[in-house]
């Protein structure tokens, strides 16, 4: 039976790298895959999944209006798909995650979704919340805080590098806007009792 997997982590944990490696493994064995990425993520070329270590692959962009089940069913009808891989899965809507589950349950195609679990305030994204509820397997991709502990939180910093707990939930950025930290240092940075330069 095909399964829905949710690979989650903080920023800079290598989620996109893992996705691209999994895609390569399928394709190396002559199997067809379908990749999705969020249209809102404009850090790289449109319709591209890119990792910090330089790996890239073209992907179908999704918006909140995209019917993922219909897209996959259409592609699958033109030649069997072995796997569907979704980057930036935190930006999925709850109905889209339901669609991913349906891809597994009705089309028999495994789905590997990669994304953040929480935002910069420590709140769940809608897509992540639904994936945590529906996924057959939850896999944490590890990242490291400056103190050496496991990083589970994403600290947003302003243009000057100062921590901020204000703003919209979705604000695209990389190392210039976010720092992966353990829960203790994330809370300390937001409270002003610990600074990034303290290490």
Q: Is residue 174 part of a domain?
A: yes
Within a domain: 42: yes
The DSSP line for 96-160 is HHHHHHHHHHHH---EEEEEESB-TTSPBPHHHHHHHHH-SEEEEPP-B-TTSSBP-EEEEE-TT
Kindly report, residue by residue over 173-197, the tens digit of the pLDDT.
555 678 889 999 999 888 878 777 7
Which sequence positions are flagged as catalytic? 88
Q: 133 and 36, same structural domain? A: yes
101 and 192 assigned to the same domain: no
**Phi, psi of 51, deg, nearest 5:** -105, 160
Q: How confident is the model at residue 1 (pLDDT cuts 50, 70, 90)?
A: confident
- For the full predicted model, state whether its pTM sits above 0.85: yes
- Which residue range forms the structural domain that includes residue 63? 4-140
- The count of domains in the chain is 2
């Amino acid at each position: 039976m095909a399964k829905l997997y949710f690979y989650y982590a903080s920023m800079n944990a290598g989620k996109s790298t893992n996705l691209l490696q999994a895609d390569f493994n399928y394709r190396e064995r002559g199997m067809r895959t379908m990749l999705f990425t969020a249209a809102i993520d404009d850090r790289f070329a449109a319709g591209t999944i890119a990792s910090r270590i330089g790996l890239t692959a073209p992907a179908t962009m999704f918006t909140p209006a995209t019917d993922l089940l219909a897209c996959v069913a259409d592609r699958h009808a033109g030649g069997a798909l072995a796997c569907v891989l979704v980057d930036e899965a935190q930006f999925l809507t709850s109905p889209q995650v339901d669609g991913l589950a349906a891809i597994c349950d009705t089309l028999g195609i495994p789905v590997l979704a990669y994304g953040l679990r929480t935002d910069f305030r420590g709140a769940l994204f809608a897509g992540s919340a639904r994936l945590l509820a529906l996924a057959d397997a939850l896999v944490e991709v590890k990242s490291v805080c400056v103190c050496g502990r496991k990083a589970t939180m994403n600290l947003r910093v302003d243009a000057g590098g100062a921590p901020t707990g204000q703003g919209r939930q979705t604000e695209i950025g990389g190392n210039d806007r976010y720092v992966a930290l353990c829960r203790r240092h994330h809370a300390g940075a937001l409270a002003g009792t610990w600074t990034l330069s303290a290490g």
